[in-house]
Amino acid sequence: MTRPLKLLLIADSDSQLLACEALCRFSTDQAVDLTINVIPRDGTPQALLRRIADLGTLWHQQLAQLLRNPRIVGFDAIGVFLTGSKLNDIRLALDRQAQRPVLFCGFNGVVLDHFVEGISWRLGYDLICLSGPRDQQQLQQLLAHTPYSGQRTVLTGLRRNNTSHRELIPRRQRPKRLVFAEQVIMPAKTEERARMVRILANLAERSPDWEVLIKPRIAPGDATFHDVDTHISLTLRQTLGVAPANLRLDYRPLPELLRQARLMATVSSTAFFDALDFGCSPVVMGDLGLNPRYGGHIFAGSGVWRMLDEVSDLDALELEQPYPDQRWLTWMGYSDQGGPDALLQAIREAPTPRPQPPVLGYLANAKSSFNQLRLGAEASIAIADWPEARELLSQAKQMRPQHRGVAQRLLAVSRSNPLLRAILLRVTYRDLG
């Protein structure tokens, strides 16, 4: 009998915990001894913590305490779902060990933007979990002909729920209900969030025999990966005063809502794929445009991108709503390809981990974040080390090609004429706050 695979997952925000929860959707025949370390943080939703506790042994250790814990080297593999600098801290700390577990990491769902920067923090891990061919192709193009071209990856997919369509209520037998999956910063601006609420309210008024339920990302007082200044409940009151009778907030778990809904709408939430798991037709709200700041551009090829303000009513939307394009779904990672079992197989097949020194001075150096690169460049400018400043700003520009401040500073330090260089440095925008 094969002994259970000893697996440790590390996370601190609700988004990261949800990613860990999805990875634990192993087949029943997989033997896994699971431990999850939730780094203590104020406001983590208690309902989520209870679900996580049901998956295995639950730890609550701060990162520094965890790295000093001698038990972590006894795991077969450690999955790290944290922000960039913490990802790096754990990898570097464990790389000092003569023997260490297999290290893997991933993303919290669909990667909307900053893919290059996200990958840069994860390089050097034994395995990087990716959703599907879309992310895999981007990574291969990024790392081709570089010291990191051999980076191992595994596709873990976008199916996050163990559901069988045989156990689901047929969609036409469900209440006439649309669930809107709210996100705390998509969109982020107050006026844009107010517009989003008005569009949903108008749609509810045009569909009096439907319920329109807004599922807040978090309850008031809970914390998430992103900071939120104004909770959606306050936005609703400030924007509408009195909402239509068939429009309301609903804090029940999203799976519970999706099991009883016909339609689900969002700006760019990964809940899009949860809707498919529960037999609910997903719609992407296109009223805010294809601006990458909102993330909706990712779903433009899905075939279900709709201008909700132009929909006559929800009956009409349901009647014409097609299933998302299958090729697009497969490309994104919603298919039978990969999954948590593929991760376990990749862990078992991974070569014995060997400490590897970081490759310095490369765009994907996991020891450097975007802001660190910029701060380092400014320090080099202060001592007139122009070659170093150019190198650091070039790396930052490759991480964020559209960042005008970085592009302008790079242009300035690239000038050979001292007077012109000094003038350009004086007038360009540092934006280091």
Does 114 lie in the same domain as 31?
A: yes
Instruction: Identify the weakest region by mean pLDDT among 37-41, 283-287, 312-316.
Output: 37-41
What secondary structure letter does DSSP report for 40? -
Does 345 lie in the same domain as 295?
A: no
Residue position matching structure tokens 């996370």: 11
Task: Report pLDDT for 329.
Answer: 95
Give the number of domains in the chain. Answer: 3
Most confident of the ranges 39-53, 83-97, 124-138, 375-389: 124-138
Quick check: 366 pLDDT over 60? no
Does 154 lie in the same domain as 242?
A: no
Residue 46's domain spans which residues? 5-158+335-349
Task: Report pLDDT for 214.
Answer: 95
Does 412 lie in the same domain as 376?
A: yes
Quote the tokens at residue 375.
């701060």
Q: Quick check: is 117 in a domain?
A: yes
Region 335-355 average pLDDT: 87
Does 266 lie in the same domain as 226?
A: yes
Does 192 lie in the same domain as 50?
A: no
Does 178 lie in the same domain as 321?
A: yes
Region 238-259 average pLDDT: 93
pLDDT tens-digit series, residues 153-185: 999 999 888 776 678 889 889 999 999 999 887
Does 404 lie in the same domain as 263?
A: no
Q: Quick check: is 432 in a domain?
A: no
Does 376 lie in the same domain as 339?
A: no
Quote the tokens at residue 264.
């689900």
Does 170 lie in the same domain as 237?
A: yes
CA torsion, ordered 91, 95, 101, 106, to nearest 10 deg: 20
Q: Quick check: is 364 in a domain?
A: no
Quick check: 431 pLDDT over 70? no
CATH of the domain at 221: 3.40.50.2000
Distance from chain centroid for Cα 327:
22
CA torsion, ordered 19, 297, 188, 232, to nearest 10 deg: -70
Q: Quick check: is 385 in a domain?
A: yes
Q: Annotate 359-401 with DSSP letters as a single string.
A: -TTSTT-TT--HHHHHHHHHHHHHTT-HHHHHHHHHHHHHH-T
Quick check: 400 pLDDT over 90? no
Does 248 lie in the same domain as 212?
A: yes
